[in-house]
Amino acid sequence: MALSSDEIDRYARHLVLHEVGGPGQNRLKEAKVLVVGAGGLGAPLLYYLAAAGIGTIGIVDHDTVSISNLQRQIIHTTPRVGVAKTASAREAIQGLNPHVHVVEHDHRITADNALAIVSAYDVIADGCDNFPTRYLVSDACFLAGKTLVSAAVGQFDGQISTFKPHETSPDGTPWPTYRCLMGELPPRGLFPACEEAGILGALPGILGSMQAMEVVKEVLGIGDSLAGRLVMYDALATRFYETKLAWNPDNPLNGRNPSITSLEKHNYIDR
């Protein structure tokens, strides 16, 4: 797929990178990436994916822009308060890079539609704000054989990892799943939402930008994947921590005796 003269100028700093070049930029152009959530994490993630030249970006979010979002959700603007977040994000992306095709999924992601949605994309990036959706998206990605880059943030800290349990790690075992990290779904209310606990606005910008980097790396096949690793960021201490994630042979998704073979057990969730 040939790059136009505008694309050659636009991606000039990519094209001179040995790890990207023309072939790599074409891989980005041909890639289809789904972003779940156009909020604090999704905003910088979407911007940088669009700037990088990802050819097709899908956005899942059923919410509308509110004034309280703008402290951290930088893809939205004051004049677009009340507009669907998918439409607001599409407008921003098209203003930044008209070569990107945006697909709006302006509805909740549920057990009924998750598998069909994620199956249409190459890489999934989850920036949602609740545990039921994270579990649903993770399970759907495994069942569809898709790589998932997942991040989460708290008041002053965040974490990020890549999950591709449909593939095998160098030691011959599967890569871990989100369920290997978190175990069973936490009960509602155990972790307060940002509406209750608060969040420093720049924090999701850092983690969302890291997600964009990891998605681009997965598309290009460069660098060291975050599969099997969890990176944590403490904003107040300005420190990064890394820990290894191991496959849990007892987890119900891709363990030795899996009990989750479909999404039927997932209840209706709020996204």
Domain annotation covers residue 255: no
What is d(CA 161, CA 229) in angstroms, rounded to the nearest whole number?
6
> Do β-strands 101-105 and 123-126 pair in parallel, antiparallel, or remain unpaired?
unpaired
Do 52 and 80 lie in one domain? The reply is: yes
CB atoms within 10 A of CB 193: 11
Rounded to 5 degrees, φ, ψ at 127 are -125, 30
Domains of the chain: total:
2
Place of tokens 């073979």: 261
Do 150 and 16 lie in one domain? The reply is: no
**CA-based nearest residue to 173, from 90, 245, 75:** 245
- Cβ-contact 45, 35 below 8 angstroms: yes
> Over the stretch 213-230, which tens digit does the pLDDT of each residue have?
999 999 999 999 999 999
Do 99 and 12 lie in one domain? The reply is: no
What is d(CA 194, CA 153) in angstroms, rounded to the nearest whole number?
9
Domain that holds residue 13: 1-26
What is d(CA 234, CA 220) in angstroms, rounded to the nearest whole number?
29
Domain annotation covers residue 197: yes
Do 11 and 101 lie in one domain? The reply is: no
Domain annotation covers residue 266: no
Do 3 and 53 lie in one domain? The reply is: no
Do 10 and 76 lie in one domain? The reply is: no
Do 119 and 37 lie in one domain? The reply is: yes
**CA-based nearest residue to 192, from 144, 137, 129:** 129
Rounded to 5 degrees, φ, ψ at 251 are -70, 145
This prediction has a pTM of 0.94
pLDDT tens over the chain, length 271 residues: 689 999 999 999 999 999 999 999 999 999 999 999 999 999 999 999 999 999 999 999 999 999 999 999 999 999 999 999 999 999 999 999 999 999 999 999 999 999 999 999 999 999 998 999 999 999 999 999 999 999 999 999 999 999 999 999 999 999 999 999 988 877 766 566 666 678 999 999 999 999 999 999 999 999 999 999 999 999 999 999 999 999 999 999 999 999 999 998 885 444 3
- Cβ-contact 161, 230 below 8 angstroms: yes
Domain annotation covers residue 262: no
Joined together, the tokens standing for residue 32 give 């289809």
> Over the stretch 47-94, which tens digit does the pLDDT of each residue have?
999 999 999 999 999 999 999 999 999 999 999 999 999 999 999 999
Residue 110's CATH number = 3.40.50.720
Rounded to 5 degrees, φ, ψ at 201 are -60, -35
Do 22 and 72 lie in one domain? The reply is: no
What is d(CA 101, CA 90) in angstroms, rounded to the nearest whole number?
9
Do 11 and 70 lie in one domain? The reply is: no
Do 128 and 141 lie in one domain? The reply is: yes
Domain annotation covers residue 181: yes
Do 198 and 127 lie in one domain? The reply is: yes
Do 20 and 37 lie in one domain? The reply is: no
- Cβ-contact 178, 166 below 8 angstroms: no
Domain annotation covers residue 65: yes
**CA-based nearest residue to 85, from 107, 64, 57, 104:** 64
| Amino acid letter, residue 36 | V
* Run of H or E residues at 137: helix 131-144
